[in-house]
């Protein structure tokens, strides 16, 4: 009996971490949908269209708090968001963020900035500040680095720059946050 296999690619909003990949991969496989390729923001699947309808796939994606995106600008804004996260969590930050994004996305920074602001209602700079605060909280909670080392990790030459920003954004100093003894982090997919 011949199977009606359909391959389909989706661009996904909100897929910005490895956990997102695992969740979606697991949920789709559970429904007998073959995941051919999966990466942040994109998934290629194959399924028997006689047994599985596209509406089920959309439901799985939406129920896991992701969203399918269709237009080019939204796709580019999501890609920009993922590269900003990667920059803050995965690089030494020796290159400034705008240069990094231009290099990774091969697009003029002004264009990236305009599309990002239009899509998310905040600038790339504001988004990166909010992420830096969450990254600082994570590093403080891990209790492996000094405040000076955390500052350097986040691209500051001395702790005072990070300290001022942290106080402005959270209303408390780095030391006060550490003494709380509880996590007040915001998941990065909620920023």
Tens digit of each residue's pLDDT (9 = 90 or more) over 68-90: 988 899 989 999 999 999 999 88
Mark which of 35, 70, 105 sits at the end of a domain: 70
Q: Tell whether 17 is covered by a domain.
A: yes
Q: Tell whether 190 is covered by a domain.
A: no
- Which residues are CB-contacts of 182 (< 8 A; sequence separation ≥ 6)? none
| pLDDT mean over 57-68 | 91
CATH number of residue 55's parent domain? 3.30.70.100
**Looking at the chain, how many residues does it have?**
191
Q: Tell whether 130 is covered by a domain.
A: yes
Domain identity same for 90 and 39: no
Mark which of 28, 54, 70 sits at the end of a domain: 70
Looking at residue 3, what is its pLDDT?
Answer: 67
Q: Tell whether 160 is covered by a domain.
A: yes
Neighbour count for residue 160 (Cβ, 10 Å): 10
Domain identity same for 30 and 89: no
Q: Tell whether 191 is covered by a domain.
A: no
Structural domain that includes position 21 = 5-70
Residue 1 has pLDDT above 50, yes or no: no
Domain identity same for 41 and 78: no
Mark which of 18, 35, 70 sits at the end of a domain: 70
Domain identity same for 21 and 65: yes
**How many angstroms separate the first and last alpha carbons of the chain?**
49
């Amino acid at each position: 009996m011949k199977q009606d296999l359909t391959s389909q690619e989706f661009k996904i909003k909100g897929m910005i971490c490895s956990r997102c990949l695992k969740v979606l991969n697991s949920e789709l496989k559970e429904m007998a949908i073959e995941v051919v390729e999966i990466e942040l923001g994109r998934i290629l699947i194959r399924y028997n269209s006689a047994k599985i309808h596209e509406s089920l796939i959309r439901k799985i994606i939406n129920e896991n708090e992701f969203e399918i995106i269709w237009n080019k600008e939204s796709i580019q804004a999501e890609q920009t968001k993922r590269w900003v996260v990667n920059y803050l969590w995965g690089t030494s930050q020796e290159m400034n963020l705008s240069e990094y994004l231009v290099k990774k996305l091969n697009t003029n920074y002004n264009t990236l900035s305009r599309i990002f602001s239009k899509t998310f209602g905040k600038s790339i700079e504001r988004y990166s500040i909010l992420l830096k605060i969450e990254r600082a909280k994570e590093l403080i909670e891990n209790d492996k680095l000094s405040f000076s080392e955390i500052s350097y990790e986040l691209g500051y030459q001395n702790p005072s720059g990070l300290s001022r920003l942290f106080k402005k954004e959270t209303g408390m100093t780095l030391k006060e946050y550490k003494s709380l003894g509880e996590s007040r982090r915001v998941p990065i997919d909620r920023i």
